[in-house]
C-alpha cells in the first residue's frame, strides 16, 4: 500500500520535501496544501521585483505543471486550521479533511504587526509574499516620502525599495545602529553610510509610538517615542515573524519559539515532521536548539524531512551552516552561521568598506558577518562545521587571508 504524505506549506521547505519524497518513493501519495494563491516562487527575489528591477516571470520557481508532472496533488488557497494527530487527519478552512500517514509542518511565519495605534492603516506594508511585493511596488511607484521600521535583514530590504523607487525615507531604529545584535557600531556605520548615499536617513534611538492618518485612513506620519514626527505616505514595517502555529493548538505537538524538532526534523509526535523557518531544531554543530530564517536552510530542512518521512527512520541528519547575503549596495554583505549568539567576538575594519566580525561560543566559531570581502566565507564555514576550538586564535582569524594550516591543531569534532 502506498504511503500518504501531506505537506502543509508550499514555500521552499514544503516544496523541497515534496520533491524529495517523490524522488525517493515513486508510489507515495503526496499532497501539498498552501493558503497562497500561487505555486512556489522565489521569496528572496520578490524584493528585486518590489524595487522595480525585475519582471514577474523569473520569480516563479514552479508552474502548476511541475506538480502535475510529478503526480503531486496541489491545493492552493487552502488554509489548514486543525490537526488531529491521533486520527492522523488535518482539517481545512472549508471543512475538508485529509488523512495522512506522514505530515510535514512547513508553514513558516507571518510578519508581526507593530502594537501601536493605526498600525493597520492604508499605506503601511509588511513584506512576506509575492502579493505584498506587488502592493509595495504599485504604491512605491507614486510615493515620495517613506518611513521604514525594523533594523534587521528584512527592514533593510524595504529601505532598499525606497532607495530604488526614489522615495526619500527615514529609517527609524530603536537602538543606536542597524542590526545591533550582529554588528558593532563600526560595522553598522558602513551600512548607515550606504543608506544615506541611497537617500535613506537612519534615525537612531527612535521607533514608532503611533501613526497619524489622513481623513481617508491613509498613513501620513509616524510619531516616535521622543515625540518627533516623520512624514510619509509609504511605510514599511519588518519587526520579525510570528510563526504560523495556530492550527497546531491542542495537537500535542511541542511548540516553543517555533515547532521543536530534532536533527531529523521529527517533532515529539509520531509521524509528524517540521521544516523551514518555523522550526526550532537541534543544531548538531553548536549542540543546542537553534533557529534559522534563511532560504538555503529551509530548503535543506525540507529535503532532510522528506528523506526521513519516506525512510520512516532517522536516515538523514540536518547539519548545515546557514548564510544570508544582502545585495542592495555597491559592496557585498554576508552573515553566516549564528552571528547573534555567542560569548565572545572578534572584529576588524580593513578599510572604509571592508569589515569582519566573528562570534564564538564555548571556544568554537559559531557565526559572523562579512562586509566588503566575502572571500574567506568558506574557510569560516569549514571551521564551524568542524567544531574547532579556535577562539584563542582570533588574530589569525582576522587576517585578511586566513591560513587554516596556521591554526594550531585544535581538536576537531568526531
Ligand X SMILES: Cc1cc2nc3c(=O)[nH]c(=O)nc-3n(C[C@H](O)[C@H](O)[C@H](O)COP(=O)(O)OP(=O)(O)OC[C@H]3O[C@@H](n4cnc5c(N)ncnc54)[C@H](O)[C@@H]3O)c2cc1C
The residues of the shown chain that bind ligand X, judged by CB under 6 A, are: 8-14, 33-36, 43-44, 46-47, 79-80, 106-108, 127-128, 154, 157, 244, 247, 276-277, 293-296, 298, 324-325
Nearer to ligand X, 158 or 208 (CB): 158
Nearer to ligand X, 67 or 390 (CB): 67
Residue 128 CB, shortest distance to ligand X, in Å, is 5
Which H or E run includes 110?
strand 109-111
Degrees, nearest 5: CA angle 76-77-79: 110
Residue 69 burial by CB count (10 A; 0-12/13-18/19+): exposed, middle or buried? exposed
The sheet with strand 279-283 has its strands ordered as 259-261, 279-283, 288-290
Nearer to ligand X, 118 or 323 (CB): 323
Distance (Å, whole) CA 303 – CA 22: 11
Contact 32, 39 (CB under 8 A): no
**What are residue 39's phi and psi, to 5 degrees?**
-75, 175
Give the number of other CB atoms < 10 A from CB of residue 83.
26
Give the number of other CB atoms < 10 A from CB of residue 174.
16
Residue 122 CB, shortest distance to ligand X, in Å, is 21
Nearer to ligand X, 80 or 272 (CB): 80
- Rounded to a whole number, what is the distance in angstroms from the first to the last CA of the chain? 40
Residue 36 CB, shortest distance to ligand X, in Å, is 4
Residue 38 CB, shortest distance to ligand X, in Å, is 9
Contacts of 150 (CB under 8 A, 6+ apart): 158, 236, 237, 238, 239, 240
Nearer to ligand X, 47 or 338 (CB): 47
Nearer to ligand X, 43 or 307 (CB): 43
Residue 78 CB, shortest distance to ligand X, in Å, is 6
Residue 177 CB, shortest distance to ligand X, in Å, is 20
Amino acid at each position: 500500500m502506498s504511503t500518504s504524505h501531506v505537506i502543509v506549506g508550499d514555500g521552499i521547505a514544503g516544496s523541497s520535501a515534496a520533491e524529495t519524497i517523490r524522488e525517493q518513493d515513486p508510489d507515495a501519495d503526496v499532497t501539498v496544501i498552501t493558503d497562497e494563491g500561487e505555486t512556489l516562487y522565489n521569496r528572496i527575489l520578490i524584493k528585486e521585483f518590489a524595487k522595480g528591477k525585475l519582471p514577474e516571470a523569473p520569480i516563479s520557481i514552479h508552474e502548476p505543471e511541475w506538480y502535475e508532472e510529478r503526480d503531486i496533488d496541489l491545493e492552493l488557497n487552502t488554509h489548514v486550521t486543525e490537526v488531529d494527530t491521533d486520527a492522523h487527519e488535518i482539517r481545512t478552512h472549508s471543512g475538508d479533511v485529509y488523512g495522512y500517514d506522514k505530515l510535514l509542518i512547513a508553514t513558516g511565519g507571518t510578519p508581526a504587526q507593530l502594537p501601536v495605534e493605526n498600525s493597520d492603516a492604508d499605506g503601511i506594508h509588511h513584506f512576506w509574499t509575492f502579493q505584498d511585493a506587488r502592493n509595495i511596488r504599485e504604491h512605491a511607484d507614486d510615493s515620495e516620502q517613506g518611513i521604514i521600521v525594523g533594523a534587521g535583514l528584512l527592514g533593510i530590504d524595504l529601505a532598499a525599495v525606497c532607495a530604488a523607487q526614489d522615495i526619500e525615507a527615514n529609517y527609524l531604529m530603536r537602538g543606536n545602529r542597524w542590526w545591533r545584535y550582529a554588528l558593532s557600531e563600526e560595522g553598522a556605520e558602513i551600512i548607515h553610510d550606504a543608506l544615506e548615499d541611497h537617500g535613506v536617513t537612519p534615525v537612531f534611538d527612535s521607533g514608532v509610538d503611533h501613526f497619524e492618518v489622513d481623513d481617508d485612513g491613509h498613513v501620513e506620519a509616524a510619531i516616535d517615542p521622543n515625540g518627533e514626527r516623520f512624514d510619509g505616505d509609504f511605510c514599511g514595517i519588518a519587526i520579525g515573524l510570528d510563526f504560523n502555529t495556530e492550527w497546531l493548538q491542542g495537537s500535542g505537538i511541542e511548540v516553543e519559539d517555533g515547532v521543536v524538532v530534532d536533527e531529523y526534523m521529527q517533532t515529539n509526535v509520531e509521524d509528524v515532521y517540521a521544516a523551514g523557518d518555523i522550526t526550532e531544531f537541534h543544531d548538531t554543530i553548536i549542540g543546542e536548539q537553534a533557529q534559522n530564517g534563511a532560504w538555503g536552510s529551509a530548503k535543506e530542512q525540507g529535503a532532510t524531512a522528506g528523506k526521513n518521512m519516506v525512510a520512516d527512520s532517522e536516515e538523514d541528519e540536518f547539519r548545515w551552516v546557514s548564510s544570508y547575503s544582502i545585495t542592495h549596495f555597491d559592496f557585498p554583505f554576508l552573515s553566516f552561521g549564528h552571528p547573534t549568539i555567542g560569548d565572545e567576538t572578534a572584529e576588524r575594519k580593513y578599510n572604509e568598506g571592508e569589515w569582519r566580525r566573528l562570534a564564538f561560543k564555548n571556544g568554537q566559531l559559531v557565526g559572523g558577518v562579512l562586509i566588503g570581502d566575502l572571500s574567506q566565507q568558506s574557510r569560516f564555514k569549514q571551521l564551524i562545521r568542524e567544531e574547532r576550538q579556535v577562539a584563542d586564535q582570533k588574530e589569525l582569524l582576522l587576517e585578511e587571508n586566513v591560513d587554516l594550516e596556521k591554526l594550531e591543531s585544535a581538536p576537531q569534532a568526531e
